């Protein structure tokens, strides 16, 4: 029998991060894929990042994960979004060379020590006494393992819809996994049904560029996701522009006339779709007052003519798709290379999970990615990384890594899933975090690198650079506390040019930096004018960190006070074996939910739907009487 410490089922974004994490932490690991040709494939859009999603990628990188490095190797365009908004919602987004992205990930997987890649469809989980002990494949081969991580994506009983045509598939052209969900049900896990979709791909050469708006990347900035990517590896890279167009009343009329042919509206599709990534027909019927919807045309790489129509996913019949596309401005002569489709799939209700992503009912069985009810590459990758780390840590006899809402978007994601569950595909937004001003993408390394380093995933050189960055930020802020002294003509010129008011006696550089119209470059210039003062040279990201911390100091302090209250509740632990049924004074619904969710602390208990502040007050009193701390 083949023996492993960790087996990962599925080689998408969650599976790859899970397998790499456990292998790099010294575990003998195997990753299983129905076909090894599709390791790390981008099933839908050819991009990484965007609002909140870039925050997740930066957090994955800070913990020692791979997604940030992989997109840095393979992007064909990169740009910063929301530049006119505050730093909490600014986000990096990269367009990938789709083929290169998955080939680079495949190469990384195959060249990682302790990690075996095995082609095979996993059909059965082997369980003994409520503990997973291995898996069995379609070929009849049995593999034993101390832990198993399921990252099956959309493959579990996957059903593809195009109009009235429906057929089984985990992705277009790939077999579904029909036996694995039966095995999960057999061991007692509760399953649900979700739906997602993808748009058509058209031929780049058939686009009418005269009617399209070109959208280039940020060519004047050196941008990257990973702190471990060298500047020289991204400098000067040729970037491919995207193009913007819109739907119009003619497109909407085609959709309206064919509503009865949409599986989404005629009752054919049973699964719930993503609220925040709706199909084009859903948008047309939900927002009937809108005459047009934004579309982005994204070329899928250097060596292909396939173009992804972002914002145009649909499950309407192929012939209807042809009419829809040809009515879009600039796509009058467009040739469809791949038709759009919707896909239904099984997922496991996230209430089945512990905060470590281990299942409550089956020991040593972990779940990660879309199987937990989430949507998106970045959400999946983050879960995969945590599941891989925690599977390894369990075998090392260590406590699991459970990230807090106040520490990360990853912690928010897991807390939302486990505490609240989800009745639709869960997507991360900055609005989901009450601490978003503190959880910016620019400080992910400062927040999480120590965890990645101590877990054995982040290398010492990178960790030491992050620690130096922390020291440098404090050093700069201390230097900026210096009084500017008396004004002079050159300083006055800067202030007048920036319309920033007069310089009062005793004003510090720190106070000047807090002024809305002055930035760190202005402060550096003013510092050079001051006799005997030397601010020094620091990396650009360090200087940016100083500017954000200084300018938003008041808001940050308010957020820190909120976190203090939050931490106080999180630190009030609840015994794992606590029986809520014996507590009088809390409602029956609260007892049921608390017994089901098994929160680790009062903070988690307070966020469970159906548990009221009054229930929490009673619970706190009972724990105090018992002497639980």
Instruction: Output the known binding site.
Output: 10-15, 122, 177, 273-287, 370
Residue 158: beta bridge partners?
A: none
For residue 467, count CB atoms less than 10 angstroms from its CB and return exposed for 0-12, middle for 13-18, buried for 19 or more.
Answer: middle
- Rounded to an integer, what distance in angstroms lies between the CA atom of residue 2 and that of residue 141? 9
- Rounded to an integer, what distance in angstroms lies between the CA atom of residue 282 and that of residue 308? 19
Judge contact between 142 and 134, C-beta under 8 A: yes
Q: Which residue has the tokens 């469970």?
A: 608
Taking alpha carbons only, the member of 313, 375, 326, 328 closest to residue 161 is: 313
- Rounded to an integer, what distance in angstroms lies between the CA atom of residue 385 and that of residue 377? 12
The crossing angle, in degrees rounded to 10, of helices 377-395 and 53-62 is 30
For residue 371, the 8-state DSSP code is G
Binding residues for FAD: 10-15, 122, 177, 370
Residue 476: both structure tokens together: 């700069």
Judge contact between 194 and 159, C-beta under 8 A: no
Judge contact between 309 and 294, C-beta under 8 A: no
Residue 472: both structure tokens together: 């440098």
Binding residues for NAD(+): 273-287
Contacts 24+ apart (CB under 8 A), 166-173: 166/263, 166/268, 169/343, 170/34, 170/345, 171/41, 171/43, 171/343, 172/338, 172/341
For residue 259, the 8-state DSSP code is G
218 contacts: CB under 8 Å, gap ≥ 6: 78, 79, 80
Taking alpha carbons only, the member of 246, 403, 394, 255 closest to residue 315 is: 255
């Amino acid at each position: 029998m083949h023996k492993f410490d960790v087996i990962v089922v599925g080689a998408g974004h969650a599976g790859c991060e899970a397998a790499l994490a456990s292998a790099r932490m010294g575990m003998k690991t195997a990753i299983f894929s129905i076909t090894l040709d599709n390791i790390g494939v981008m099933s839908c859009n050819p991009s990484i990042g965007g609002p909140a999603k870039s925050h997740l990628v930066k957090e994955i990188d800070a913990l020692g994960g791979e997604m940030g490095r992989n997109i840095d190797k393979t992007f064909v365009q990169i740009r910063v979004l929301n530049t006119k908004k505050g730093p909490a919602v600014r986000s990096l987004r990269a367009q990938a060379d789709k083929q290169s992205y998955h080939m680079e990930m495949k190469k990384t997987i195959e060249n990682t020590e302790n990690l075996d890649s095995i082609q095979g469809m996993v059909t059965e989980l082997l369980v003994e006494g409520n503990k997973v002990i291995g898996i069995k494949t379609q070929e009849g081969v049995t593999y034993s393992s101390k832990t198993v991580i399921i990252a099956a994506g959309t493959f579990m009983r996957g059903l593809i819809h195009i109009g009235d045509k429906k057929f089984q598939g985990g992705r277009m052209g790939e077999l579904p996994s029909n036996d694995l969900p039966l095995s999960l049900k057999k061991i007692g896990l509760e399953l649900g049904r979700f739906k997602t979709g993808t748009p058509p791909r058209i031929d780049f050469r058939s686009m009418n560029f005269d009617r399209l708006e070109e959208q280039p990347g940020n060519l004047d900035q050196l941008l990257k996701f990973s702190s471990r990517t060298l500047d020289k590896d991204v400098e000067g890279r040729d970037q491919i522009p995207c193009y913007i167009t819109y739907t119009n009343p003619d497109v909407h009329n085609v959709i309206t006339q064919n509503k009865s042919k949409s599986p989404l509206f005629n009752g054919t599709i049973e699964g719930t779709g993503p609220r925040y990534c709706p199909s084009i027909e859903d948008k047309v019927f939900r927002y009937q007052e809108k005459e047009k919807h934004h579309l982005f045309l994204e070329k899928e790489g250097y060596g292909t003519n396939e173009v992804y129509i972002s914002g145009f996913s649909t499950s309407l019949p192929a012939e209807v798709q042809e009419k829809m596309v040809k009515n879009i401005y600039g796509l009058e002569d467009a040739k469809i290379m791949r038709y759009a489709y919707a896909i239904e799939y099984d997922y496991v209700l996230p209430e089945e999970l512990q905060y470590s992503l281990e299942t409550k009912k089956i020991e040593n069985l972990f779940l990660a990615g879309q199987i937990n009810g989430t949507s998106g590459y970045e959400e999946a990758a983050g879960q995969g990384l945590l599941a891989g780390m925690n599977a390894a840590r369990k075998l090392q006899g260590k406590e699991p890594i459970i990230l807090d809402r106040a520490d990360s978007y990853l912690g928010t994601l897991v807390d939302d899933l486990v505490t609240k569950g989800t009745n639709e595909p869960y997507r991360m937004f900055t609005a989901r975090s009450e601490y978003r001003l503190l959880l910016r993408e620019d400080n992910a390394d400062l927040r999480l690198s120590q965890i990645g380093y101590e877990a054995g995933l982040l290398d010492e050189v990178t960790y030491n650079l992050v620690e130096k960055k922390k020291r440098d930020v404090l050093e700069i802020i201390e230097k900026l506390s210096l009084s500017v002294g008396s004004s002079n003509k050159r300083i006055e010129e800067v202030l007048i040019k920036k319309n920033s008011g007069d310089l009062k006696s005793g004003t510090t550089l720190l106070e000047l930096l807090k002024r809305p119209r002055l930035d760190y470059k202005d402060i550096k210039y003013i510092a050079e004018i001051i006799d005997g003062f030397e601010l020094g040279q620091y990396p650009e990201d360090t200087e940016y960190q100083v500017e954000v911390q200084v300018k938003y100091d008041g808001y940050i302090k308010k957020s820190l006070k909120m976190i203090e209250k939050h931490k106080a509740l999180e630190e009030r632990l609840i015994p794992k074996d606590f029986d809520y049924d014996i507590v009088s004074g809390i409602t029956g619904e609260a007892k049921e939910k608390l017994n089901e969710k098994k929160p680790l602390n009062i903070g988690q208990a307070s966020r469970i739907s159906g548990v009221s502040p009054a229930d929490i007050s009673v619970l706190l009193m009972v724990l105090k009487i018992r002497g639980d701390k």
